[in-house]
Amino acid sequence: MVVEDDAAVLETVQLMLGDRYDIIPATNGEEAVRKYKMFKPEVVLMDVMMPVMDGVEATKEIKKIDPQAKIIGLTAYARKKGKELLEAGALEVIEKPFTRKQLIEVIEKYLK
């Protein structure tokens, strides 16, 4: 599942990974929590700064539903928000901008 409020970034990620994985998109934290309950995705790529519910809050909620959930942070605000995301339960954080290779490597690491 890719959680991102910026439509261009969401589209980019879908284009980068769409040929390898089934992608569930979500545009804010609340939608992400709802969709996680429905689809139980194997990996979640989570943006931090989003409307309605931010990435830190959504990570905490998902971890409450499934403590085993594998969440990877995507952030431009890595130094401060990245830290908060890790504290909320994310496995690691990738800084924007990122390459396809970077994304695949990290996803594969947690799919094993």
- Chain contacts with other proteins (rule: CB under 8 A): 6, 8-9, 11-13, 15-16, 49, 74-77, 79-80, 95-100
Phi, psi (rounded to 5 degrees) for 3: -110, 115
Residue 1 CB, nearest approach to other proteins (Å): 18
Return d(Cα 21, Cα 65) in angstroms, integer. Answer: 23
Residue 72 CB, nearest approach to other proteins (Å): 14
Is the Cβ of residue 16 or residue 44 nearer to other proteins in the bound state?
A: 16
Smallest CA-to-CA distance from 75 within 89, 104, 61, 54 is with 54
Residue 26 CB, nearest approach to other proteins (Å): 16
Residue 17 CB, nearest approach to other proteins (Å): 10
Phi, psi (rounded to 5 degrees) for 34: -60, -45
* Cα 93 to chain centroid, rounded: 9
Cα separations in angstroms, 55 against 22, 32, 109: 21, 9, 21
